[in-house]
Structure 1
Amino acid sequence: MPRPEHVAETPVPPIPDVDRSKPDLASVDYSAYRTGLSNHRTGLSEHRTQLSEYRTDLSTHRTDLSEFRTDLSEHRTDLSTNRTEMSMRRTGMSFQRTRMSADRTLMSIMRTALSLIGFGFTIFQFFGHLQSSKILIATSHAPRNFGIALVALGILMLTLGIGYHVVFMRSLRAERGAMKGEGLIHGESPYPISLTLITASLLWVLGLLAIASMAFNLGTLG
């Protein structure tokens, strides 16, 4: 609704100068004067009514704007809540990615250690069969010692890798548990024991059996 135009300033009708000796004419002049005052008051009253309606429309418009701002604020709050939820989920998934990255690191150590253990055991067995078949005369224990050294190096490397993996995973679990307790992450996804760690432990036991068989001529591995 447009703002009402300003009412032109109109002077109050002047009090008529009547001749008191003529009461009829004085009464007519006073009646005309009252009519003019009444018309003046009516114009002012209509203008006040238009201003009141304009203020009412402005108040209604402000109320609508306030409701819109409230709805917009609630929408922003919902968006902020959703972003916080997604951030918590991403943080929780980052722990899983870190765990899998640690598993991949341990797997690379396992591959190197397995190569060393397998290569050292193969050298030991190969030269042992040559000596037992009288194809190679046993003049030194260098091949045997070299094979044992490779297996020992593989076991040492695997031991260090397992130790580092266990320490890292324990600290990661502790940090995840602390953040879950503070409500910073959901922590709903499972966090099982690493199968890579179990496999590495079995490989470590196999390496010990291999080096015991090589060093003490035991028949553990045939």
Structure 2
Amino acid sequence: MSSTNDEAPIRPERVTEAPLPAIPEVSQLDPDIASVTLSQHRTKLSTHRTGLSEHRTDLSEYRTDLSTSRTEMSMRRTGMSFQRTRMSAERTLMSVIRTALSLIGFGFTIFQVFSKGRDSGLLKIGTAAPSNFGMALVMLGVLLLVVGIVYHVNFMRTLRAQRNAMVQHGLVHGESAYPVSYTLLTACALLLIGLYAIVTMVFDVARG
């Protein structure tokens, strides 16, 4: 009795136990006839045991199929746990992107407002502290983004290596591949934008 991985094993039908053959009365029989009668009784008992043994074999195969199905499900759950861990790392990188974007955008806005206001004469400030504060926020956002990208890449490399090792040992399925991380691509693009913002601010400061 076998079953495929996609099908649930079929439980054997319950066997109605037949009564044991009655012990023949041979005390008053001829020895030869008694011997034949007892031999027939032993044959009936053997047939009865054979039927029970076949049913036990079917139940054993059923338990083996159940165990195989449980192992298959456990392997798939482990594979899905890797996917959930990957998605959790993606969400962590998204949080880093949001924080870094807020710092870069807010810092660049502060720098531009105070720089343009000072150049146009609307703001009478003789110190570059507000502009430096804006530049510091942008640099902090870029630094946070660099740390987040490096951590994400190292974590994903470790996760991939562990998953590949478990796939080679047959502990998990390797059917679902890891897709391209668009979150990582977005983080890299934002990093370039942040570096460009820093270069722009440095040139503005040098020119002013």
2:151 is aligned with 1:148: no
Query: Which of 156, 159, 165 is the equivalent residue of 1:172?
Result: 159
Q: Size of the alignment, in residue pairs?
A: 185
Q: Distance in 2 between matches of 1:104 and 1:5?
A: 82
Aligned residue type for 2:154? V
Deviation sequence 1:164-214 (CA, Å, 0-9, x none) = 001000111111111111121111112123111110000001000011111
2:101 is aligned with 1:91: no
Query: Which of 108, 112, 122 is the equivalent residue of 2:99?
Result: 112
DSSP 3-state at the match of 2:179: coil
DSSP 3-state at the match of 1:217: helix
CA displacement at 1:46 relative to structure 2? 4.1
Q: Distance in 2 between matches of 1:105 and 1:3?
A: 77
Alignment of 1:116-195 (within 5 A): 116-195=103-182
Alignment of 1:1-222 (within 5 A): 1-5=21-25, 7=27, 42-217=29-204
Aligned residue type for 1:130? G
Q: Distance in 2 between matches of 1:140 and 1:161?
A: 33
DSSP 3-state at the match of 2:49: helix
Q: Distance in 1 between matches of 2:24 and 2:108?
A: 103
Q: Distance in 2 between matches of 1:5 and 1:193?
A: 83
Q: Distance in 2 between matches of 1:111 and 1:143?
A: 23
Q: Which shows bigger deviation, 121-130 or 108-117?
A: 121-130
Deviation sequence 1:129-153 (CA, Å, 0-9, x none) = 2223321113110110000000000
TM-score (norm 2): 0.83
CA displacement at 1:92 relative to structure 2? 1.2
Alignment root-mean-square deviation, CA: 1.7
Report what 1:23 is aligned to. Answer: none
Aligned identity (percent) is 63
DSSP 3-state at the match of 1:2: coil
CA displacement at 1:6 relative to structure 2? 6.7
Q: Distance in 2 between matches of 1:3 and 1:205?
A: 94
Q: Which shows bigger deviation, 113-122 or 180-189?
A: 180-189
Runs of at least 4 residues of structure 1 off by over 4 A?
none
Q: Distance in 1 between matches of 2:161 and 2:79?
A: 13
Report what 2:10 is aligned to. Answer: none
Q: Distance in 1 between matches of 2:126 and 2:25?
A: 122
Q: Which shows bigger deviation, 52-61 or 101-110?
A: 52-61
Q: Distance in 2 between matches of 1:81 and 1:5?
A: 50
For structure 2, list consecutive stretches of 5 or more residues without a partner in the other structure: 1-20
DSSP 3-state at the match of 2:172: coil
Aligned residue type for 1:61? H
Q: Distance in 2 between matches of 1:137 and 1:184?
A: 69
TM-score (norm 1): 0.78
